[in-house]
Chains A and B, each alone.
Chain A
């Protein structure tokens, strides 16, 4: 602007201004995204601290306390009101309504063992795919991809029949056991894990292993001593992937893992009875299951996210 034109006739979009607006827009969008991503989790926590009546209310407050109550707590120091309103009973009652502890433990066992087993097998497989060319590789690779398209319902009943056959012909019990469902889940997650790990292994130059072999390591030693430590982020990412799949699975669990080994994913349905749904207790149980997982992720996200972003581009 010069002295001749104290006010510009038109406001031009200079590059600086464009940058500024764009930044502003980005931040706004980011804010929206964060709200979208985090609000349901927040809501779960809020609902876990409410009574049945409060949940059924048509006009729920966004926070455990209404604005009036908030004012009284903060300004007047009415801590009793705080204690009264925060309905932590849900966290106590939920253990009695359904065998929640059993469900948690079962899920941990099932998902945990599946993760370990799947990683072991998939590391071997992914390495083979990454480093070696062998006859039938293309078909096997295609087969791995094809497994992603199989609807679970197709193999569900035959799997059940297979379990029964094993149970009657051999002394191994399969139905409603840990090893039964772990076997199934491991096999389900291995193809994806191989695919992911192959990508990570691809990004590690083969020269390292060659050097190790020159030094006298066997192929196998080269694998676990050289490659695995270098691919640790990728392995962590894959491991988390597998864990989540095993933890969330409901279709096969609903048929093959009822009874004593019932995991959390199925068990939590029991909060929905014929008469009513116990949202409060359900949210409390959910919070207890979710918050640790989220915290662990936040703490250890470095290697996992690194792994995800690296592996993303590898075909």
Chain B
């Protein structure tokens, strides 16, 4: 080919390649603050409204995106590997330790961040315990929900039972009385499908004075006698006392809320979402419900599980100050309360609880009686493996009991096995 045509050809192909490659280039960054949250209904309206307001107040543009729970963990992990992704993100408390170790979250005690973030004294200790891992203050508590004892007052009254049992003995005797009066074994229905048996086991364990791990989180402690008794009590409620229906073994959140709202069970443990599910159902009203703290066990005090979501700034973000300002905005009592209400949880601050949305005395019970008893999983590395083995073990024990395969000593053995796996996870 002669030089001239070759030159022409190269010019043309060069231009074409350049245009093509340009499409492959990275965006320079739109300059807006990138934020991500777990998907929930009602978020779209909330965020479009508030990012608008925030922009008016501060001039900072905020973009938001929602992740499904099934994709979220992998996505966040990939972001951490790549050190690239949004600036502000919702933190799931149980994933936090691993993500902090991998270098995913920024230290909120840093100068840039702390000058804009809300004061830590706004938040109760329990919440801050969850928000701090390995000495690093990682997330600002966003909303939380402890599980209360909830019952349908009318169903209890009809059966001539007092309701709101104070301790385990009370629970059993009331349950039996209910069974006699109504002939049904649905006095109490706690969800036992999916990963829930682990949470229920934790609750019974705490009520019985036990704990999941030892003081400094280096050894498992759930296979103690308190733990064995707690697990056995749980299983006996289903098979011996028959005051929990067997169907509950398949229930997860949707199942138990459906059953409770449909009056198929008289009581349950649940957070605010359960209350809302009940009141949403036609023919029910919140007046029917009575709420109290869960019963205490023979050896301990009250104990109930709470879940919490936090907001954090990602380690790679170069807009730390703007991010902190946005989080501060979301933490304002009115805004915080609005969001908590949408998602069916409670704001973690007194200010939030004092807003109009939560002025109903119904919420006071949650604040005054249930919160003091609320505990959650320890924030420690390797917890996800331990959580998995605990709920798998609990499920196995329940299943074997229901199929009639359980015998004395099985619970201790199973819990000991789980403890060795847990020890393994803690050591690594």
Contacts and interface: CB of A to CB of B under 8 A. Distances in A.
Physical contact A–B (CB less than 8 Å): yes
Interface of A: 160-161, 163-164, 167, 171-173, 175, 177, 179, 254-255, 258, 269-270, 272-276
A274 B84 contact: no
A274 B70 contact: yes
Contacts of A276: 254
A160 B81 contact: yes
A117 to B, nearest CB: 12
A60 to B, nearest CB: 20
A174 to B, nearest CB: 8
Contacts of B81: 160-161, 164
Nearest to B71: A258
Interface string B60-80: 000000001111001100100
Contacts of B74: 254-255, 258
B78 A258 contact: yes
Interface string B19-38: 00101111100000000000
Contacts of A177: 24
Main secondary structure, interface of B, reads: helix
Residue among B27, B69, B71, B83 with max Cβ neighbours from chain A (10 Å): B71
Given A274-B69, A274-B70, A275-B253, A171 B78 contact: no
Residue among A161, A163, A175 with max Cβ neighbours from chain B (10 Å): A175
Given A177-B24, A255-B78, 16 more contacts: A164-B81, A167-B26, A171-B26, A173-B24, A173-B26, A173-B27, A175-B78, A179-B24, A254-B74, A258-B71, A270-B70, A272-B70, A273-B68, A275-B253, A275-B254, A276-B254
Contacts of B84: 164, 167, 175
A157 to B, nearest CB: 9
Contacts, number: 49
B23 to A, nearest CB: 8
B252 interface: yes
A172 B23 CA distance: 9
Contact of B75 (A167, A173, A258, A273): A258
B195 to A, nearest CB: 10
B253 A172 contact: no
Contact of B25 (A160, A164, A171, A254): A171
Contacts of A269: 70
Interface residues of B, number: 20
Contacts of A274: 69-70, 252-253
A161 B254 CA distance: 39
Contacts of B83: 164
A226 to B, nearest CB: 22
Nearest to B25: A171
A203 B83 CA distance: 52
Contacts of B71: 258
Contacts of A270: 68, 70
A42 B318 CA distance: 54
Given A270-B70, A274-B69, A275-B254, A175 B25 contact: no
A215 B69 CA distance: 65
B22 to A, nearest CB: 10
Residue among B68, B74, B82, B83 with max Cβ neighbours from chain A (10 Å): B82
A271 to B, nearest CB: 11
A172 B24 contact: yes
Contacts of B69: 274
A177 B83 CA distance: 17
A304 to B, nearest CB: 30
A314 B82 CA distance: 45
Contacts of A255: 74, 78
Contacts of B26: 167, 171-173
A179 B20 CA distance: 10
A172 B27 CA distance: 9
A167 B24 CA distance: 11
Nearest first, the 8 closest Cβ-Cβ pairs linking A and B are: A173-B26, A275-B254, A164-B82, A179-B24, A171-B25, A172-B24, A171-B26, A258-B75
Interface in B146-181: none
Contacts of A163: 82
Contacts of A171: 25-26
27 contacts: A160-B82, A161-B81, A164-B81, A164-B83, A167-B26, A167-B82, A171-B25, A172-B21, A172-B26, A173-B24, A173-B25, A173-B26, A179-B23, A179-B24, A254-B74, A255-B74, A258-B74, A258-B78, A270-B68, A270-B70, A273-B68, A274-B69, A274-B70, A274-B253, A275-B253, A275-B254, A276-B254
Nearest to B194: A274
A161 B78 CA distance: 10
Contacts of B25: 171-173
A278 to B, nearest CB: 13
